[in-house]
Amino acid sequence: MNPVNDDNETNILEGALRDALRREDAPPDFAGQVLARLVPQKPERKFSRDPWHAFFTQPLVRWAAFAVITASLVGGFVHHREIVRQHAQGEAAKQQLMLALRIAGSKLQMARTKVNQINDDGSAQQQDQEKE
């Protein structure tokens, strides 16, 4: 087989391939079916048109809500710790006051005892002098 025959055969084969692989018509109402597949997407959008749903599905709003909730939780935790700390401080001050009162009470008791003792000594001396 010479090159000229080869080229000729190739050309004939290519022509036959173009015939065999020519475009075919799409099935009837193909476009209608494609467009019909687009329609069911609409109800989903209707759902998203609900004002509250639409509002809370916006990314910025979702992030803002997340930030607010996080800030509230952190704030609440800090506030709780502050209350606990103040309560502990109050308890300590109360204990200190009680201790101070106990000390003052015992000192007062000692002073009273001393005064009574002096008074008792004084009256005993006076009675001795009167006897003499």
Partner 1 sequence: MSERQSAALPDFADLVRRHQSMVFSIARHFLADSAAAEELAQDVFMQLHANLATLKSEEHVTFWLRKVTAHRCIDYKRRRTLPQVSLEDAPEPSVQSRTADPLLSQRLRQLVASLPQKPRMIMILRYQEDLSPDEIAETLAIPLGTVKSQLQRSLAILREKVTRTIGEVAI
Nearest to partner 1 of 37, 131 (CB atom): 37
DSSP assignments along 9-70, one per residue: HHHHHHHHHHHHT---PPPTTHHHHHHHHHTTHHHHHHHHTSHHHHHHTSHHHHHHHHHHHH
Q: Which two tokens stand for residue 87?
A: 């309560």
Site for partner 1 in 28-87 (CB under 8 A): 30-31, 33-35, 37-38, 41-42, 45
Q: 12-39: string of b/e by CB count within 10 Å (b at 16+)? A: eeeeeeeeeeeeeeeeeeeeeeeeeeee
We find the least distance from the C-beta atom of residue 58 to partner 1, in angstroms, to be 15
We find the least distance from the C-beta atom of residue 9 to partner 1, in angstroms, to be 6
Nearest to partner 1 of 10, 127 (CB atom): 10
Q: Which span (18-26, 54-62, 79-87, 89-97) binds partner 1, by CB under 8 A?
A: 18-26
We find the least distance from the C-beta atom of residue 4 to partner 1, in angstroms, to be 15
Task: Determine the 3-state secondary structure of 84 from DSSP.
Answer: helix
Q: Which of 2, 3, 4, 18 binds partner 1 (CB under 8 A)?
A: 18
Task: Kindly list the residues in this chain that would bind partner 1 in the complex (CB under 8 A).
Answer: 9-10, 12-14, 16-27, 30-31, 33-35, 37-38, 41-42, 45
